[in-house]
Chain A
Amino acid sequence: MTTVSSAEHTRRDFLYIATGAVAAVGGAAVLVPLIAQMNPDASTIAAGAPIEVDLAPIAEGQIIKVFWRSKPIFISHRSKKEIDAAKNVQLSTLPDPEPDSARVKAGHEQWLVVIGICTHLGCIPLAKQGEYDGWFCPCHGSAYDTAGRIRKGPAPTNLLLPPYKFLSDTKVQIG
């Protein structure tokens, strides 16, 4: 090998770095479709469109289960007793303090709409069971109250609320 002048060195180094950089950009671009393909596809997203639920047939004290985006949604028509139980709680005693008013829509306090998935590890809790008469998760013993708030057990947070709005007094749109 003959000695290489420093000027030639810079030009060669630049070429190598440029080639490497462009190749790296290409490699990264290839990852985009490979990663994106695992996200929900267009049909799954379309099937997850908002749903409408007619509340008229749900009697007081009854809880129904509907599915939105493949998740169970509990719609609870709460009785006066249940609403009072949910309101008369010392917030500071709750693991995840939230007033009942934050759990329902104003003017529709009788309707509690929650995602029916235990916030611990994803099981579906059983309705009207457990110490607090709300929900009880049979998997690991989390107990929720009539506002779907965690009261006891390993679940870290209250049952999540799906996005929803009242289209009329007897019709709710979830999603």
Chain B
Amino acid sequence: MHGNSTYQPQSKIGQWFEKRLPIGGLIHSSFVAYPTPRNLNYWWTFGGILSFMLGVQIITGIVLAMHYTPHVDLAFKSVESIMRDVNYGWLLRYLHSNGASMFFIAVYIHIYRGMYYGSYKEPREVLWILGVIIYLLMMATGFLGYTLPWGQMSFWGATVITNFFSAIPGVGETVVTWLWGGYAVGNPTLNRFYSLHYLLPFVIAGVVVLHVWALHVSGQNNPAGIEPKSERDTVPFTPYATVKDSFMMVAFCILFAWFVFYMPNYLGHADNYIVANPAVTPAHIVPEWYYLPFYAILRAVPDKLLGVLAMFGSIAILAFLPWLDTSKVKSARYRPLYKQFFWLFFAVCIGLGWLGAKPAEGIYVVLSRILTIYYFAHFIVVLPLLGIFEKTKPLPNSISESVLGSKA
């Protein structure tokens, strides 16, 4: 992917093969010789963690699919038989269900890191947009997967989410009926959701390849937010980044294992241990925690169509971030005002998440509206204006200078 390698295999067979398919050189240039800025901090290890989590989800998912039955009469039972009878089935299922949450924890850290250090700015706009697409695909995959155990939350979550599309003027009902394959969420819905839930992770993997490709073309951003100028500014990916990423991956697994082995249902919802009942809606329909901020935005808007648009818009707006942020300086380190607004935005997202879990009544609705307005204002008002009015700090001359100080 990048011409940083003059890779030559040692063996004769290797050389013969390399001449015909230079895959060794590709791997070598992408994951061995690839120059990474020497000043990357630990927030930069989450890309590796995300690849690892995608692998975990695909492997455990393929295994679970060997035991799962996508039929309304059998889905709940088959999941329970995985939990009870399949060898280590409880482990594989808890890995997969908690793995989804870990995946989102990692992706949120990854996204906030990109926002803090301005990683979406020129020349990394395409890289960033590919990331937004991956994030959207992850949300879709997570939603589809949550339907499969066919518990109460599965069923009613699917009903509520698919009903978003009924907001489309004119053809809404038709579209929803088409999505369901019936007049309500039912067996055809479960079947197609299963099929798509199996498909999308591979689509994600494909976009991840593009994401990494784009990354290797433009090179990584770094905490200083300035591009590497000389060889002194970078270190080879292997062993420096590999060992650092590995350390964080294993450390991240400690968090993962804490939930899987000690609190496997903490991040889930008790209602999903009740088999789906189309006749009774649970008192509180709450999506998984990772959708809560968007759910709060949906409910903050009193109009159905506008609510759905606001919700999708809150994600879509991320794709325009490279152009909404008008500042020439990337890293928040040298943007004193932006740094404060970043943390305010972060707090607003946490606040929206908290509100998303609360019933839509009283003060919660008012707060949701205020925070929703701020959420959009951050992108549409704050970021464009900051770039014009903010007085930024002087940038270091090079990465090595920022690391080693004036000594270098």
* Direct A–B contact in the complex, CB atoms closer than 8 angstroms: yes
List the interface of chain A (C-beta within 8 A of B). 23, 32-34, 36-39, 41-44
Q: B85: which A residues are within 8 A, CB to CB? A: 41-44
CB pair B87 A39 closer than 8 Å: yes
Does A33 lie within 8 Å of B84, measured CB to CB? Answer: no
**Given A34-B59, A34-B63, A36-B87: A41 touches B81 (CB 8 Å cut-off):** yes
**17 extra A-B contacts, CB within 8 A, seeds A33-B92, A39-B87:** A32-B88, A33-B87, A33-B91, A34-B59, A34-B63, A37-B66, A37-B67, A37-B86, A37-B87, A41-B81, A41-B87, A42-B84, A42-B86, A42-B87, A43-B81, A43-B85, A44-B85
Beta-carbon contact of B88 and A33 below 8 Å:
yes
Question: A23 to B87, alpha carbons, bound, how many Å?
Answer: 24
Dominant secondary structure at the A interface: helix
Verify if B89 is at the interface (C-beta below 8 Å from A): yes
Determine the residue in chain B with the shortest Cβ distance to A22. B250
Residues in chain B near residue A43, CB distance under 8 A:
81, 85
Bitwise interface map of B from 153 to 180 toward A, beta carbon under 8 Å scored 1, else 0: 0000000000000000000000000000
Which residues from B are CB-within-8-Å of A38?
66
The interface residues of chain A lying within 8 Å CB-to-CB of B92 are 33-34, 37
CA of A39 to CA of B89 in the docked complex: distance in angstroms?
11
Most chain A beta carbons < 10 A, residue from B59, B81, B84, B87? B87
* A–B Cβ pairs within 8 angstroms, 10 of them: A33-B92, A36-B88, A37-B86, A37-B88, A37-B89, A41-B67, A41-B85, A42-B85, A43-B81, A43-B85
User: Looking at B81, B85, B246, which has the most chain A CB atoms within 10 Å of its CB?
Assistant: B85
Interface 0/1 of B307-332, CB less than 8 Å to A: 00000000000000000000000000
Contacts of B81 in A (CB 8 A): 41, 43
Instruction: Note all chain A residues with C-beta closer than 8 A to B63.
Output: 34, 37
CB within 8 Å of A: which B203-232 residues: none
**The 7 residue pairs across chains A and B that have the minimum distance between CB atoms:** A33-B88, A42-B85, A41-B85, A36-B87, A43-B85, A41-B86, A37-B87
CB atoms of B66 and A41 under 8 A apart: no
Q: How far is the CB of B87 from chain A (nearest CB, A)?
A: 4
- Chain B residues 74-119 with CB under 8 Å of chain A are 81, 84-89, 91-92
Q: With A and B bound together, what is the CA distance between A33 and B56 in angstroms?
A: 13
Task: Give A42 to B86 CA distance when docked, in angstroms.
Answer: 6
Interface size class of B (residues with CB under 8 A): 10 to 19
Bound Cα distance A42, B89 (Å): 11
Give B387 Cβ to nearest chain A Cβ, in Å: 43
| A34 CA / B66 CA spacing, docked (Å) | 11
User: How far apart are the CA atoms of A57 and B92 in the complex, in Å?
Assistant: 48
Q: B84 to chain A: which residues have CB within 8 Å? A: 42
The chain A residue sitting closest to B90, CB to CB, is: A33
Q: How far is the CA of A44 from the CA of B59 in the complex (A)?
A: 24
The answer for the CA separation of A165 and B51 in the assembled complex, in Å, is 56
Docked Cα-Cα span, A64 to B59, in Å, equals 45
Could you tell me the distance between the alpha carbons of A37 and B95 in the complex, rounded to whole angstroms?
Answer: 14
B76 CB to nearest chain A CB (Å)? 16
A32 CA / B63 CA spacing, docked (Å)? 13
Could you tell me the distance in whole angstroms from the C-beta of A86 to the nearest C-beta in chain B?
A: 42
Residues of A within 8 A of B246 (CB): 23
Closest chain B residue, CB of each to CB of A26: B250
A96 to B345, CA, bound (A): 80
CB contacts under 8 Å to A, within B6-30, are none
Question: What's the nearest-Cβ distance from chain A to residue B295, in Å?
Answer: 34
CA distance A136 to B81 in the complex (A): 40
Chain A residues contacting B91 (CB-CB under 8 Å) are 33
Task: Name the residue on B nearest A30 (C-beta).
Answer: B59
* Cα of A34 to Cα of B84 in the assembled complex, Å: 16
Report chain B residues within 8 Å CB of A44.
85
CA distance A39 to B67 in the complex (A): 11
Chain B residues whose CB sits within 8 angstroms of the CB of A34 once the complex forms: 59, 63, 92
| A-chain residues with CB within 8 Å of residue B89 when the two chains form the complex | 37, 41
Residue of A nearest to B246 (CB): A23
Query: For residue A40, which residue of chain B has the nearest CB?
Result: B87
Nearest CB of chain A from residue B88's CB, rounded to whole Å: 3
In the assembled complex, the CB of A18 is this many whole angstroms from the nearest CB of chain B, namely: 14
